[in-house]
Amino acid sequence: MKVVAVQWDCRFGDPEFNFNRAMELMEREPGDIYVLPELCLSGYNFNDIREVEDLSEESHGNYARRFMDFSLERNCYISYGFAEKVSEGVYNSANLIGPDGLIGTYRKIHLFNRETLFFLPGDRSLKVYDTPIGKLGLMVCFDWFFPESARILALQGTELILHPSNLVLSWCPDAMRYHALWNGVYTATSNRIGKEDRGGRLIEYIGRSIIYSPQGELLAEASYDDEGACSAELVLSLAREKKLNRYNDRIQSRQPEFYSEISVI
């Protein structure tokens, strides 16, 4: 199975441009599953809530349906980040789409920095989706900072974590190696490149979309500043083997009865 992490310089406030650019880059690199950046249709550096609302759509909205058309035509799966409109406000969400349509929507739990001004915190648990090509988990960008995110997905049996991102912290691509290693899963992070300078706030994105194996091996890495994709062939059955050696297992060797005694500061 081939996973493709796509990155480009998303244009703020221009979802049609961003959708078409995603299509161009996916068509260049045939794959079984694609992961696209966080908020890849709208852009990220919002000035106010009105912009967020104007650039949001429902989980089954226009662009979701157009991604579904591509997925059906190519018999592939797509994970992408978008601003999800609901009656109460807007979530920073990621859709997982397959040939049969929308599989699921994850709403980002760990909001980063000024996201807290514009988005509702996620109200759904991290979940693994059992698809014909494997067990897929979703998390979004800053979720990487919290080890519990990947661990919860691993405990539910995920084989591949799809990670739409808009990364600005340089540690993340390297940290994903350890999420993969500690949990014995594949990880595929899609970031974006370029800058957004809006309202006197400059945000620079670090590229380096990256894919790791359950052994923490670097399988593919994109550049800091070029549009395109990185890809790797995965054998998802390897993510079901959690043993490190004859005596240690990533999951079974845990001691949760002791962890529960730790008091929160």
Domains by residue range for the chain, with CATH: 2-259 (3.60.110.10)
What confidence tens digit (pLDDT) does each residue in 76-118 have? 999 999 999 999 999 999 999 999 999 999 999 999 999 999 9
For β-strands 160-164 and 134-138, DSSP reports them as parallel
pLDDT of res. 257: 87
User: 134, 175, 151, 191: which is closest to 6 by C-alpha?
Assistant: 191
Which residue, chain included where needed, has tokens 């997982």? 96
Beta bridge partners of 161: 137, 187
The C-alpha atoms of residue 187 and residue 147 are separated, in whole angstroms, by: 13
pLDDT of res. 264: 64
Exposure of 9 by Cβ count < 10 A (0-12 exposed, 13-18 middle, 19+ buried)? middle
User: 77, 27, 29: which is closest to 222 by C-alpha?
Assistant: 29
Note whether 234 and 1 are within 8 A (CB): yes
The C-alpha atoms of residue 158 and residue 93 are separated, in whole angstroms, by: 19
Note whether 105 and 97 are within 8 A (CB): no
> Collapsing DSSP states into helix, strand and coil, what is residue 249?
strand
Distances 215 to 55, 59, 173 between C-alpha atoms, Å: 39, 34, 15
> Collapsing DSSP states into helix, strand and coil, what is residue 61?
coil
For β-strands 195-198 and 218-221, DSSP reports them as unpaired
Q: Which two tokens stand for residue 183?
A: 């949990």
pLDDT by position in tens, the chain (length 265): 999 999 999 999 999 999 999 999 999 999 999 999 999 999 999 999 999 999 999 999 999 999 999 999 999 999 999 999 999 999 999 999 999 999 999 999 999 999 999 999 999 999 999 999 999 999 999 999 999 999 999 999 999 999 999 999 999 999 999 999 999 999 999 999 999 999 999 999 999 999 999 999 999 999 999 999 999 999 999 999 999 999 999 999 999 988 876 666 6
- List, by residue number, the catalytic residues: 38, 108, 141
Q: Count CB atoms within 10 A of the CB of residue 24.
A: 12
| Phi-psi region at 113: left, alpha or beta (left = phi > 0; alpha = psi -120 to 50) | left
